[in-house]
Amino acid sequence: MKSESEDTEHRKVQILLHDLFNIGTLSYVCYLVGKFLFGGTDIEALRTLLNHYWTNRNSNLHLISDLMLTPGMMDSYHQIFYAISAYLVIDVLWVLIIPRCVPSSPKAIVIHHIATAVLLAATFFVALNNTLLVLQFI
């Protein structure tokens, strides 16, 4: 039978491994989000868009949609969506299988991840809906 100190040490290792997984995975997600937000930023396109908006008050949706839907934009969004989805699924399974890997309440973390997954799904459908709305004016 394990002693209390061995059990405590084992729990610390479980928590450390889970924390390292979170740090590594969320660092990758932050990289993808940064690439999405800043990788395709074209200052001249933003200047043109703002100038068009202030002078024409959105009268030409075709120009705006061309500026907004840069090549690969939805591909980048999908990378983020799938990375976060995979993280949530793996992390929920991890916490359910090894609840001692978190120092706080495993139940609260699972509920938080489910709520996050619902919000993530909502962003996916909003992005899809907005893309379809813009495309109808092209």
d(CA 108, CA 105): 5
Predicted confidence band of residue 135 (pLDDT cuts 50, 70, 90): low
Per-residue pLDDT of 83-118, as tens digits, reads: 988 999 999 999 999 998 888 888 888 888 888 888
The token pair at 19 is: 């924390």
Backbone angles phi, psi at 57, to 5 degrees: 50, 55
pLDDT of residue 33: 80
Q: For the range 57-63, what are the long-range contacts, defined as Cβ-Cβ under 8 Å and sequence gap of 24 or more?
A: 61/134, 61/137, 62/137, 62/138
pLDDT digits (tens, 9 = 90+) for 110-133: 888 888 888 777 777 766 665 665
What is residue 70's predicted lDDT score, i.e. its pLDDT? 60
Place of tokens 């709305």: 133
Domain definitions of the chain by residue range: 4-135
Specify whether the CB–CB gap between 95 and 17 falls below 8 A.
no
Give residue 86's pLDDT. Answer: 92
Alpha-helical runs (H) found in 1-138 = 4-38, 43-56, 61-68, 73-97, 106-135
Render pLDDT for 18-75 as a digit per residue (tens, 0 to 9). 999 999 998 998 888 877 777 655 566 656 666 666 666 655 555 555 555 566 677 7
Is the full-model pTM beyond 0.75?
A: no
- Count of residues for the chain? 138
Which is more confident, 78 or 23? Answer: 23
Radius of gyration of the chain (CA): 22
